[in-house]
Chain A
Amino acid sequence: MQKIELMAPAGNFESLQAALDNGADSVYFGVEQLNMRARASINFTLDDLPEISRRCQEKGVRTYLTLNTIIYDHDLSIVKTLVKCAKEANITAVIAMDQAVIMVARELGMEVHISTQINITNIETVKFYAMFADTMVMSRELSLRQVKKISEQIEKEQIKGPSGKLVEIEIFGHGALCMAVSGKCYMSLHSHNSSANRGACKQNCRKKYTVVDQETGFEMELDNEYIMSPKDLCTIDFLEEVIDAGITVLKIEGRGRAPEYVANVIKCYREAIDSIENGTYSKEKVIGWMQELEKVYNRGFWSGYYLGQKLGEWSKGSGSHATQKKVYIGKGVHYFPKASIGEFKIEAYDLSLGDTILITGPTTGAKEMTVDTMLVNDEQLEKGIKGDSVTIPIPFRVRPSDKLYKIVENKVEA
C-alpha cells in the first residue's frame, strides 16, 4: 500500500504547532493576500515564512503556500514576491489555481500543486496539468470510483509530472463543503461585493432562507432546512476505500478553524491512517474517532460525493454542532521547568479540580489535559475564581503568550 500523506491546515502559529504535534505529514497556509482565507483576521505574513519553514523542517513536515485566488494584473508583482520569498524560505511547493501563478512558480523553479479550484475531473486534464505540476487535488464532486479510475489511468499511461515521478492525487478528507463548485461562488459577491474567489467569502449560504413565490407573494420556510449549507465532509469511517482509490495525499480542510480543531482532527486521521497501515483499523476505533471529531467545530457529517451522488445532506443550523466548546479562563504567567508547574491568572469564570483545560499559544499549539491538583493563591483549594493566581502541574512549557480555556459541554440544538 502506498504511504498516505496527511495534510493539515494552518491559519496561524497555534494551528501550525497543533498540526506538527499531532502527526501531520505536511501543512498548507496562506500569507496575507491571494489565498482563500485572505479575509481572516489572523493570518501569516511574509516575514513568518522562515519560521514556518524552520519548525516544519525540524520535523520533516512538507510546507505548501496557497496562492489560489483569481489573479488580476495588479497582483502579478506580489505573486512574484510571494513565490520568490517562499523559495528563499525553502517552502516545499505552491498551491496554484491561476495559470499566472503556475507560470511564475515554474519560472522560479518552485514545485507546483494544482488547487481544488481548478476542478480536475478527468484524466485528460490531469495529463494537461502534468506538464506543470506533480500533485493535483481532484474536484470534490468526484466519486471514489471516478478518483480510482483516474489514479489507475495515471499508472497505466505513466503520466509523470515535472519531477519525473508519477502524478500524485490529493483529495479532501475532512471539513467544510460548499454548495457551489469549490471557490467558484458569487453569492457573497452579490450580497456584499465580497468575492469568494479573492478569499473574502462571507459564508451567507450558511444561513436559513425563505423562498417567496413572486406571483402570489406566498412565503415558504423550507422545512427548517439550511438548504444551501451542506454538512461537513467526514471520511474516517470509509478511509480504507478512500486510500484504496489510489490517492497519496489526504487533505484536511479548515484554515479558518481554531488550533484545537486542527489538533483533534489531525490526531484522529493520523491514528486512522496508521491503523490502516498496520492492520488494526476497526469499527470500534471508528466509533471512538467519530466521538472525538464531533467534539470540535462541525456542521454535522456526511460522506460528500465520494460514495455516489447522494445529495441533500444539509446542515441543521447556522453554527457548529460540536459537542464541546471552550470557555476563556485566563492566561499563562510563568512556568517552573524544574517542578513542571505552570502558573496562570484567571481573568474570567472559574476553574475547578477535574476540569478539562485547553492551553493554546503560538509555540504551545493546542494541548488538552485534566486538572488533578492545583494551588490557588498558594493554597490547596478545589476552585479558583476570577482574579486568582493558580498553579497546576503541566508536563509542557507554558508561556505568557498562552491562553487558558476550560472545555465544557456544548448544548447542540436538535
Chain B
Amino acid sequence: MVVVTLQRNKCIGCNYCVELAPEQFQMSKKDGKSVLLRSQEKKGFFTLKSPDEAILDPCDQAAKACPVKIISVKSV
C-alpha cells in the first residue's frame, strides 16, 4: 500500500508534482494550487491510500522535487 500526503495550504503552485506524477496530481484552476487526486482531507492534510505500488516512484520524485516539501510518500 502506498500512502501519499499533501499539505495543500502551503503549495506555491510550481507544477512540479504534476510534471512528475500527472496521474496523481493536478493543478486546480480555482486557486492555482496542487490537488492530490482521489485523496481524503483531514485538517488540511490530503491523503491518498493506493494499493498500486507503481505510483510510488513518480510520487516519490514529486515529493523530492517539491520546493516547499509538502508531499510525503510512504510504502506500508
Contacts and interface: CB of A to CB of B under 8 A. Distances in A.
B32 A200 contact: no
B27 A74 contact: yes
Task: Categorize the interface residue count of chain A.
Answer: 10 to 19
Among the interface residues A34, A74, A76, A77, which one has the most CB atoms of the partner chain B within 10 A?
A74
Interface stretch (A47-55, A187-195, A229-237, A377-385): A187-195
A33 B32 contact: yes
Contacts of A193: 14, 16, 65-67
A198 B15 CA distance: 11
A47 to B, nearest CB: 14
A75 interface: yes
Nearest to A72: B15
A35 to B, nearest CB: 10
A412 interface: no
A77 B31 contact: yes
Interface in A1-53: 33-34, 38-39
A39 B67 CA distance: 9
B31 A78 contact: yes
Interface residues of B, number: 16
Contacts of B28: 74
B70 to A, nearest CB: 12
Interface string B7-25: 0000011111000000000
A74 B67 contact: no
A342 interface: no
20 contacts: A33-B13, A39-B67, A39-B68, A72-B15, A74-B15, A74-B28, A75-B32, A77-B31, A77-B32, A78-B31, A78-B32, A81-B31, A192-B67, A193-B14, A193-B16, A193-B65, A194-B67, A200-B12, A200-B14, A200-B67
